[in-house]
Amino acid sequence: MVRNYFKLAIRNLFKSKSTAFINIGGLSIGFLCALLIFTYIKKELSFDRFHTNINNIYRVLTIDEALGVTSNLVGITLPALSETMKDQLTSVENSVRISTNGRTLVEYNKIPLYAENLLYVEPSLFKVFDYELVAGHRHTALQAPNTAVLTETMAKKIFSKSDPIGKTIRINNSDDLEVVGVMKDPPLFTSMEFDVMVSMVPAESDSNTVNYLNSWNSISMVSYVSLNPSADINEVKSKMEDIIRQNNVGDNFKVTLQPLKEAHLSSSGILFDVFNANKGDVNYLYTLAIVGLFVVLIAAFNFMNLSTARSANRAKEVGMRKVMGANKQQLAVQFLSESIVICLFSFILSLLGLFLMNSFLNFGINQNLLVYLTADLATIVWMVVIVLGLGILAGLYPAFLLSGFSILKVLKGNFKTGTSGVWLRKVLVVIQFTASIAMIIGTITVYYQLDYLKSSDKGFDDEQILSINLGDQSLRESGERLRNRLGQNPNIEKMGLSGSMPGRGVGRRGMLPEGADQDDVWIVSSMGINDEYFDLMGMEIVKGRNYSREVKSDSASAIVMNEAASKAIGWDDPIGKKISQGPNEKTVIGIVKNFHFANMRHHIEPMILPYQPSSLGNGVLSLKIRQENLKVTLQEVEQVWSEINPNHPFEYSFFNEEFGRQYENDENFASLIVSFTWLAVFIACLGLIGLSMFTAEQRIKEIGIRKVLGANIKTIIMLLSTEFTKPVLAACLIAIPVAYYFLDEWLSGFAYHVEMPWVAFVSASVLALVISQLTVSFHAIKAATSNPVNALRNE
């Protein structure tokens, strides 16, 4: 019986090829979109999941509520906190402290190369996290001072095929380290990126490190704790607060815990998040999931619409089957089987499409997308259940509609489709275009916001600026010689020194402004610069003056701050006012126009820019290079670098590219949204093509009579087109407020954003109307220009 149902289903597909093409084409594209989105979501949710104890691992965050701070949550904390938690709280099983050193020079046999991410870690890292050693002993690794563990990739770069265990490497031309382990490269999807781990265990004579690890007066350490599975998180947080108060930490600081499993997707608002690479955004996943659902539903609605629209064409078939003894249930099962066959065939095509998509889109997954998605049995089972469920749901109404036809009416020729089916089709068209219009509005708004992020005034000029890191002491010591030599190059227009660069992150320092209450706690962002930096970056001094080498007192007693700092303090005339930093007092000599030193999700915070005239106090040398001689100038800069720093590879970055990488996640999201939006619109239009074709067929006699009575082609086209205009207009009215609500929520996640672009709402509505009219116009024109004799010859 079942075999017979499926044979009939396949036979009916071939009987109506145009309908089958629309149904299968729409569902295949819909399924493919959903599979791509689900693959992307699976990838994003897989970050750090290789740690078996992930449900009990938390990172310690700090909440800074000092005056001058607007981005309160930071990814670092007090150095002594996590170790004290392990000692005093029974619910804390273990802890690990991590200090990031970033890009670091590594040397072996006088051959230098850079480690991308060097960490100082405690040996307890191997107890908290599931990192596997392929050489060395996990339980003793990093127990001794001046030891290191390398990833497999880094070990091969340094030692090639020789055994690294027991060999000595040097970092930053100063510290010798014994390699005691080689670690299997971490899985691809991890928020913790590193290639060298150095023991944080201090030597007996290293009192500075001991004092630092036991300190309660700085916010500077990445810390993780693993808790007992039965631990009460709220109780742990409460006891953390008690611990920092007992150690006289300022009242402006609070501490909290973030589950490791949330670190990747729920950290977009966290600053100083130095050990959380490739951050995602959970809101983007929610949005993509909704888009994927909409696309599949639009395709399913097409099937329901076309099935009900074709009901009259299959009425005699139903009547004859009932005469031959088929009951209502058997007919319903037959039509449901047709729906399931279409869904299964479409799904198979979409799987093939996913397999072939790997050449064009892979989301950074180092294997075929289909293989990655179907790697676990649970995913396969869920996909089959969803496809079968969708097939049943999509075919449910058409099946019971068709199986419920009256035999007498059908065989007497008095059968007419009911108004309920017409209304259902109109409602489904409204829903389809509501989703499509809302997605178009969202796409346009996202691109307006991204364009705003790229083109709005950042407070500096980022073009043609080359940044060179002076990462260790030897580079900073030779920095002045490098600067003087490069200053002789006519293709280098300007130079400047700074402790960091916008987008890389800056430090924070305490201060007490003149006129403030002595009990107030002020903490502001801080980045050292030399006197050339403002000119190099095109930053504007709006009040007062810049630093000057001619004014000897500037390095000791002068300070420049941004407009946000002056405004937060409440100074109308800040020039000449003083700030205190411990025993030191500095006089404000200038106010620089606000500039973005973090991405635009964060407000511009109050900032001071202390004067560091030489390279000894700065870690970045930046050059502004003439565009026309860029390639030659880069070669000349590299030559000078090699002469002055022969033991350091020459590496640089273009500032505009580096700053722009902050928005890569937003740009990737926008690309996905725009692709899936237009596919959704295409699927909706496929449905309109089918509906307009059947509408024209059903009304062919009416059109013939109207033409005989004198109706012209224009009138006929308007008659048929208007039937689809009203549902699209209704969809516009529904989509606009829905899209406004969700887009307003999304834009509020940016401290700086465009005003709601009403042009997006108008454009999307007009576009939907134009596309729908163009879609139905072909069949409308065909019906209007047909010969009425052909329609009426059988009457």
- Taking the alpha carbons of 495, 498, 502, 504 in that order, is the dihedral positive or negative? positive
Q: Whole-angstrom Cα distance, residue 680 to residue 677?
A: 5
Q: Whole-angstrom Cα distance, residue 541 to residue 408?
A: 90
Contact call for residues 621 and 615 (beta carbons, < 8 A): yes
Residue 593 confidence class, pLDDT cut points 50, 70, 90: very high
**Residues near 141 by beta carbon (within 8 Å), at least 6 away in sequence:** 123, 126, 133, 147, 149, 180, 181
**Which carries the bigger pLDDT value, residue 404 or residue 43?**
43
Residue 478 confidence class, pLDDT cut points 50, 70, 90: confident
Bridging pattern class, strands 253-259 and 522-526: unpaired
User: How many Å separate Cα 645 from the centre of its chain?
Assistant: 39
Q: Whole-angstrom Cα distance, residue 99 to residue 783?
A: 74
Closest CA to 278 of 594, 657, 664: 664
DSSP string covering 742-756 = HHHHHHTTSSS----
**Residue 108 CB neighbour total at 10 angstroms:** 16
Q: Which pLDDT does position 685 carry in this prediction?
A: 79
Contact call for residues 363 and 43 (beta carbons, < 8 A): yes
DSSP string covering 163-190 = --TT-EEEETTTEEEEEEEEEPPPPSS-
Taking only the tens place, the pLDDT of each residue in 527-582 is: 999 999 999 999 999 999 999 999 989 988 999 999 999 999 999 899 999 999 88
Q: Which pLDDT does position 306 carry in this prediction?
A: 72
Q: Which pLDDT does position 23 carry in this prediction?
A: 79
**Residue 457 CB neighbour total at 10 angstroms:** 9
Taking only the tens place, the pLDDT of each residue in 360-418 is: 777 888 888 888 888 888 888 998 898 888 888 777 766 666 666 555 555 555 545 55
Write out the two tokens for 334: 């037959």
Contact call for residues 68 and 565 (beta carbons, < 8 A): yes
Helix (H, G, I), strand (E, B) or coil at 586: strand
Q: Which pLDDT does position 544 carry in this prediction?
A: 94
Contact call for residues 618 and 532 (beta carbons, < 8 A): no
Closest CA to 637 of 495, 531, 503: 495
Q: Mean pLDDT across the chain, nearest whole number?
A: 85
Q: Whole-angstrom Cα distance, residue 321 to residue 329?
A: 12
pLDDT, mean of residues 214-223: 93
Backbone angles phi, psi at 622, to 5 degrees: -115, 140
Q: Which pLDDT does position 233 carry in this prediction?
A: 95
Q: Whole-angstrom Cα distance, residue 748 to residue 449?
A: 11
Sort 399 into a burial class: Cβ within 10 Å, 0-12 / 13-18 / 19+.
Answer: buried
Taking only the tens place, the pLDDT of each residue in 677-721 is: 888 888 887 777 776 666 666 666 666 677 666 677 677 667 667
pLDDT, mean of residues 449-453: 86
Sort 374 into a burial class: Cβ within 10 Å, 0-12 / 13-18 / 19+.
Answer: middle
Q: Whole-angstrom Cα distance, residue 283 to residue 13?
A: 41
